[in-house]
Amino acid sequence: MPDSSIEQRLAVLTDSHEQGRLAVTDGVALRYCRWMPVNPRGRVLLLSGRGGFLEKYYSTVIRLLERGLEVVSFDWRGQGLSSRLLADCQRGHVDDFVDYIADLDRIWTELFQSPADTDNYLLAHSMGAHVALRWLRERQAGRAAFRHAWLTAPLFGVDTRPYPLAVAKALAAMVCVVGGHQRYVFGGGPYRPETYRKEGLANLSSDSQQMEYELACLQQDPALQLGSPTFGWLRAGFRSMSCLHSRGYVEQIEQPITQFVAGDELVVNNAACADVQRRLPHGELLTIPDAKHDLLIEKGALQAPLWNKIDRQLSADFDAD
């Protein structure tokens, strides 16, 4: 690990640590990790967004361990050290978001499902939040699988500028119809450190130290590197968003959900998040001014409202227990 202080802090907070690979029914292998604190008070399932990898969110794992939560996380198919789906492993691809739902279901069943007296929590970012919401609707409808579900910058809609949304959808569909589903989206390409840094600081996080840490991880283990999404991934995303926004879909989710959205958001569509919040039976939305998309790796001051809210909910739960 490039930052030894992070590794040392994880070691201090962790009573035991497990890492491995878990096979999904279609043969895909998911890399997962489980961290157990010294005195666990609950468990949290941590889900990254598109292009994420376990190491990227080690600072988040530390924060959760400090709060006495066991942490389970994994790399989605097609990224991190889980199975890549194309011969050109730089291309971020999936044919259908239901495959991500299958990933989450496998992790839940094998690593996370627990007795009813365990306090379970969910912390999911961007694409991970999208998949989590669909999983809650399709696998857990009518019940609350978690004490609380915290979704950061959820991918409930995408910022398609400079194209109107309808044009972006039609373009993705057209390219896929003519056999270009494995092509990079326009303007995309393989991983390049300079592009990762520039786009990361512009769109994802204003924390330059975090960005350099990620770049060091990607340099140390090139297998973690991932380029832009394909048109097939984009089409699958649009289709999944249409499903999510269909009438009566999220209305059947009984899970209490808090959304955290970034005030300086350039990746997802905050209006779509607000629409979902209005339709959820138990939904809440908090906007963090000036923060960029990747709230979990923003500067500490910009993360503070998120963790203050989480801490209030955890304190109420722990006091009630």
Query: Mean pLDDT throughout 236-244?
Result: 98
Q: Bigger pLDDT: 129 or 8?
A: 129
CA–CA gap between residue 236 and residue 238 (Å, rounded): 6
Q: Are 292 and 199 in contact (CB under 8 A)?
A: no
11-15, 87-91, 237-241: range with lowest mean pLDDT: 11-15
Query: Structure tokens of 294?
Result: 């990747």
Check pLDDT > 70 for residue 3.
Answer: no
1-5, 155-159, 276-280: range with lowest mean pLDDT: 1-5
Check pLDDT > 70 for residue 116.
Answer: no
Q: Which one-letter amino acid corresponds to residue 259?
A: Q
Q: CA 101, 126, 57, 71: dihedral to nearest 10 degrees?
A: -50
CA–CA gap between residue 298 and residue 280 (Å, rounded): 27
Average of per-residue pLDDT values in the chain: 95
Question: Which CATH number covers residue 64?
Answer: 3.40.50.1820
Check pLDDT > 60 for residue 232.
Answer: yes
The pLDDT assigned to 162 comes to 86
Q: Residue 173: give the domain boundaries.
A: 4-320
The pLDDT assigned to 5 comes to 79
The residues with which 262 forms a beta bridge, in sequence order, are 288
The pLDDT assigned to 11 comes to 80
Report the domain count for the chain: 1
The pLDDT assigned to 142 comes to 78
CA–CA gap between residue 296 and residue 79 (Å, rounded): 19
Angle formed by the axes of helices 127-139 and 98-107, nearest 10°: 80
Check pLDDT > 70 for residue 1.
Answer: no
CA–CA gap between residue 128 and residue 103 (Å, rounded): 11
Q: How far is CA 102 from the centre of its chain?
A: 15
26 pLDDT band, cuts 50/70/90, is: confident
Kindly give the pairing relationship between strand 14-23 and strand 148-152: unpaired
The pLDDT assigned to 115 comes to 64
Three-state SS for 74? strand
Q: Are 187 and 231 in contact (CB under 8 A)?
A: no
pLDDT digit string, tens, across residues 255-298: 999 999 999 999 999 999 999 999 999 999 999 999 999 999 99
113 pLDDT band, cuts 50/70/90, is: confident
Q: Are 204 and 268 in contact (CB under 8 A)?
A: no
The pLDDT assigned to 176 comes to 98
